[in-house]
Amino acid sequence: MTLPDDAARHQGHGLRRDLDLLEALASPEAQRAGELGVVRLAQLTGREKSQVSRALKALAEEGIVERDPDTLGYRLGWRLFSLVARTVEDRLARTAEPVMRELSAELEETSHLCVLRDQEVLTLLSVSGHSFRVHGWEGRGVPAHCTSAGRVLLLDATPDELYVRFPALADDRPLSEVHSLPELWAKIQQARRDGYARVREEFEEGLVGVSAPIRDFRGRVVAALNISAPAERLGERLDTAGRVTAKAAAKVSAHLGWEARPKPPPAARLT
């Protein structure tokens, strides 16, 4: 007869063994190879191949790992990445919200927390200068190339990555100053030099905005802080707003573990 405590210990032991497999699939070796086979995973975890095979099959059924049908190797799965992404974005929003309230109060404008999704900028959180949330923009996607948030979210992109992400730029924003990848690259490099990006009525007539990058502990741009407002209200103080927003974004980055370093040398031109 299995007692409740014995069953709990058995389940905990099984969970630890599954975590060992996930750790192995997240190892530098697995990242370099792109996947690992059952034999190698058994060696790394010190378990029998049959046990590893059964565990991986169960994890694959839940989407935690994926099996390549040709090589039969395993890698971390879509569901695990989805859970991690939601957790990261939740922590990001909780970390950024108090800073956004301060930023909105200082500028007396609504601030937005944005992330990159394919060719669009998605707003995760909006906060007004009156310390309450504004839901009009949350969950809404807008083109990245003609928005200040999009340009700072692309700061880490190489020319080759831009070509892959934007095989063709949409030409439905006649007011935009960006109609080609070289023009987008130039705007990104300007944002890198200034520490923030500015847009004057490129996305929408009468609307201006500034954005600054938020970096994680590795220094990667993971989000953007944005201030958007009517040109008649913010247009004359756009650069001031950009500098204030950059300081706020740096504060969020510091909370995420990023320590600012000297600026890198100028990037190559995209032709």
- Please give the C-alpha separations between residue 89 and each of 41, 42, 80, 127, in angstroms, as whole numbers: 31, 34, 14, 16
Type of residue at 118: D
Per-domain residue ranges for the chain?
Answer: 4-76, 84-255
Q: Quote the tokens at residue 110.
A: 């609504």
| Residue 227: partners with Cβ closer than 8 Å, 6 or more residues away | 103, 104, 107, 109, 110, 111, 112, 209, 210, 211, 234, 241, 245
Mean pLDDT, contiguous 10-residue spans, the chain (271 residues): 47 72 87 88 92 93 89 85 66 90 93 90 83 55 89 94 85 78 93 95 89 92 94 92 97 88 56 53
Write the CATH number of the domain with boundaries 4-76.
Answer: 1.10.10.10
DSSP letters of 61-115? Answer: HTTSEEE-TTT--EEE-HHHHHHHHHHHHHHHHHHHHHHHHHHHHHHTS-EEEEE
For 84-255, CATH number out of 3.30.450.40, 1.10.569.10, 3.20.20.150, 3.50.50.60 equals 3.30.450.40
CB of 231 closer than 8 Å to CB of 206:
yes
- The whole-number pLDDT of residue 131 equals 47
Q: What is the model's pTM?
A: 0.65
- The whole-number pLDDT of residue 128 equals 83
